[in-house]
């Protein structure tokens, strides 16, 4: 039996549709499907984690709506964060019983995958205990928020690649006062595309979580049947 990572690329998908799709893949992995990494982007949305504090929203929900930003409560860990086009979101739906049944180990693994991704661009990223996530200097480049049911993970990571960083000024990102955010494009002072970042992120997941490589990949919209890529 091989241990290959299944990839699903969805493109730009509204948050609630992606959440329903995660539930579908969670059920598949729980029933024996391969560990799956869903790669996608979201239209502008603020997600509120299980540890959300209302004061970390600097405006009322109607104000965000007028700016074209959805506000979505979630069951993932963490506080509030922003997702938007140009940000690489990845939802690992992994059966941790096949790896290690330890959420702290899993979180550190997600951080390591992000640190290695930044390292592939020549950037020195770091952890910033006790906060979860990945930082370059005093600016956060990637947020992490997870949930696990029956030791199968959901939700995941958001790596700032080429996204607009201004919306982060409308919240207290992850509830952490006094620190900024950054992106690969910002740090490298050149445009970094999602197409450039994605293979580096995938390779980091393979190395950190011990996969033998990538199995058959799928592509499609969350609302449509998925088709195998040629």
Full set of structural domains in the chain with CATH: 6-214 (3.30.930.10)
Bond preceding residue 130 cis, omega within 30 of 0: yes
Pairing of strands 152-160, 87-93: antiparallel
Residue 226: pLDDT band by 50, 70, 90 thresholds?
Answer: very low
pLDDT digits (tens, 9 = 90+) for 10-50: 999 999 999 999 999 999 999 999 999 999 999 999 998 88
Among this protein's residues, is 118 annotated catalytic? Answer: no
The catalytically annotated residue of 57, 134, 157, 174 is 174
Mean pLDDT of the chain: 90
Average pLDDT over residues 126-142: 92
Return the pLDDT at 219. Answer: 65
Q: Is the pLDDT of residue 51 over 90?
A: no
Q: Which residue shows structure tokens 């860990």?
A: 77
Return the pLDDT at 215. Answer: 87
Q: Is the pLDDT of residue 194 over 50?
A: yes
User: pTM here?
Assistant: 0.91
Percent of the chain scoring above 90 in pLDDT: 74
pLDDT digits (tens, 9 = 90+) for 158-182: 999 999 999 999 988 776 677 889 9
């Amino acid at each position: 039996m091989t241990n290959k990572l299944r990839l699903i690329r969805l493109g730009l998908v509204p948050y609630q549709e992606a959440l329903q799709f995660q539930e579908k893949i969670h059920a598949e992995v729980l029933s024996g499907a391969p560990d799956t990494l869903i790669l996608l982007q979201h239209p502008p949305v603020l997600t509120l984690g299980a540890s959300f504090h209302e004061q970390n929203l600097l405006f009322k929900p109607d104000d965000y709506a007028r700016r074209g930003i959805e506000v979505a409560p979630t069951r993932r860990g963490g506080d509030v964060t922003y997702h938007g086009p140009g940000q690489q979101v990845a939802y690992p739906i992994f059966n941790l019983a096949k790896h290690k049944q330890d959420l702290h180990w899993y979180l550190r693994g997600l951080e390591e995958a992000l640190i290695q991704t930044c390292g592939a661009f020549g950037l020195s990223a770091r952890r910033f205990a006790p906060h979860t996530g990945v930082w370059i200097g005093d600016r956060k480049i990637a947020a992490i928020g997870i949930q696990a049911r029956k030791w199968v993970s959901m939700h995941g990571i958001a790596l700032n690649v080429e996204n607009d960083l201004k919306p982060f000024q409308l919240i207290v990102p992850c509830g952490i006062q006094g620190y900024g955010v950054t992106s690969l494009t910002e740090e490298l002072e050149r445009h970094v595309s999602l197409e450039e970042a994605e293979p580096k992120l995938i390779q980091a997941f393979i190395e950190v979580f011990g996969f033998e490589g990538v199995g058959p990949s799928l592509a499609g919209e969350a609302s449509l049947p998925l088709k195998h890529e040629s």
